[in-house]
Structure 1
Amino acid sequence: MSDGVTIEFATRITAQCAEIRDLYEIEEYVRQPNEQNLIEFLYDLSAFLLELECPHEELTCGDITTRFSSQSSRDLLSSFLASEVKTARLVTLRKIESGEIVSEKRDLELTPVIDAAFRTLDIPKHTGNVNEWKLLETLRQKTESRVTQSQRNPLFKATLDDKTLPDIEKQCEFFSRDFYNRLLLLNSRLKVTVESFLWNDRLKIHRENIQSILSTRVEEIGKLKANSDIAHLLSANSSLLYIQKASDVSRRNRTKTKQHPLSSGEAPKDRGGRTDEMVGVKQESFKQQQHNYNRQNSHQQNRAKGTFERPKTHEEQVLEQHTSHHGQSWRGGHRGGRGRGGGRGGRGSH
């Protein structure tokens, strides 16, 4: 660098010029300096000062290589640019407050939220430059009117403070994980259901088309956001307590048939699928494995012989138990009677 101008000093000057350029929206700019482009940096700075109509001749006139060699000239340059930064900030702030300009670089995270709120409340989009405070007031009035018309009770009625906030955030994280697990479960069920239909010979010719539609639906489900925060918790109301099953009769007007078992309107069995109750498959013990192995061998032997033994009923087991002694009936001997013997009052002969 030239005499008196260092990299640190030039970098600080460049940052001040960049902020002034953004606030005033001027075309001149000062490039980031290094050891090789010192002359370019000084020329850019000189043109930028002329654009700002700098009143100090020692900063805008004279040899450009020695213009900022003295400490006093560098201090004067820093002081002038600092005052210009403050002035540019005040001018821009007044323009924003008066509605003359609407900054597109501030509140980038909040703007989509406010835009979504306006669409939800059916507030028409304003044209031209409108004071943002008036927009927020319109949003507040519309929201209060909607809340007044709603008769539902909120689910969350506790007071938010520093003590309860951590627990509430943990609960919101649990909701997010549970919702994400449900999305995964929904995708799995959707794939399994489609695969079960593709076993049909009539649908095999449409396999590619069905798979294409399935991949599109799975991709759409995957784009759903599973993030739950305090805003969702505060907006929850009592309507969420009413659960309507997807297999409800009122929702099946177009799918009911005489052959369908659900057409009678009976409540279907609980199929489970709750993410907080799902557990992995338990590993079989050695005793269970041996029992299953014996059953399989017995089935294979009977199949090879072509004989399959029907399990005996309870009546057959009782009858077999009482007739197992020498082929006698449980009522008595061969000549059976009502007594213990063979005749009406005597003993039976063996």
Structure 2
Amino acid sequence: MEEAQVLGVLTALGYSGELTKEGALSQEAEQGPLSPCFTAACSWLVCELKAVSPLEECLTPTTGPENAEAFLLEVSGLLSELHCPYPSLTTGNATSRLKDKESSLRLLLFLGSELQAARLLRSKQSPQERQQAPKEAGSGDEVSRELRALCQALGMAGPAADASMAALFGDLELKIRDISSSLPEDAVGNPLLTRSLESGQWERLEEIHQAMCMEYGWRRQMLITRLDVTVQSFHWSERAQQHGAAMVRLYEPLRDGLCSRPSVTLALLLSAREDLSVITKTTSQSSREKTACAVNKILMGPVPDRGGRPGEIEPPMVRWESRRSGSGGRKEKRRGKGRQH
């Protein structure tokens, strides 16, 4: 793949980042996800694409090679949503892709072509369709998703495209106060976060949230991979091979519902109540009210002692196997020589 083709697409789209410098595209594409400049260019393309199309996934630019795996996981989800036709970008282990320069350039070219197509379709839309486009394009935005979910939970219509935020939050407050007045006292509880945060604190909290999402994303991906390997091992037996198609048909719908990206958002922090900060033992009376069953009342009789206490084990005796089994000791050799004389 020619670098001039990729650079021409980026320039035509209005990209003016580090990759436009002489020789930078070849050098950064060689490093792929290990390069912050390369990931920043991919993130820019996706942000531009989200502005003109209803895209859910996003790409977070990295700050160093240590964030490469998280970036690759995001790329995997993005390409799945965009139905990428290149097998080299969509097959195999998600954290092992973009290992060569050719794959990195292909990713830039694919994202660039998707952005060109989205902008072309948008230019052909009528003025009425363009007014609705920002609302649809923002469906992947976290704030928009939370607002729509809040309106749905309260039984209200979704936020109108021409409604101001002040009017929307005013209507939400009135609706929440109306519902809260009909609830019993202390039904909701006090919020866990009782103080207002400044802009810098929210930014810091967002950084912590992104770091935790990255960490737990890796853990979820590890568990999902273990599940896939375990299910694959079930197909090895001769009996399972006869029912392989049925097993796949039952497993795929369940597997499709598993996502490596955590669904925890900052909005859940605002909705958290004080009772979440109380650590209750599993053996406490309040917990046992929900977990007690008839099996717990069955008492086990005496069981044999299986040991397992290192302090009670006697040290082993020294065994001289060579003297017992062999006949080639030094004394035996001397005796043999004496007999010859």
Does TM-score exceed 0.5, indicating one fold? no
What is the TM-score of this pair, normalised by structure 1?
0.33
**Of the two structures, which has the highest relative contact order with CA contacts closer than 8 Å and spacing of 6 or more?**
2
Would you tell me which structure has more helix in proportion to its own residues?
2
Q: TM-score, normalised by structure 2?
A: 0.34
Instruction: Report which of the two structures shows the higher radius of gyration computed on alpha carbons.
Output: 1
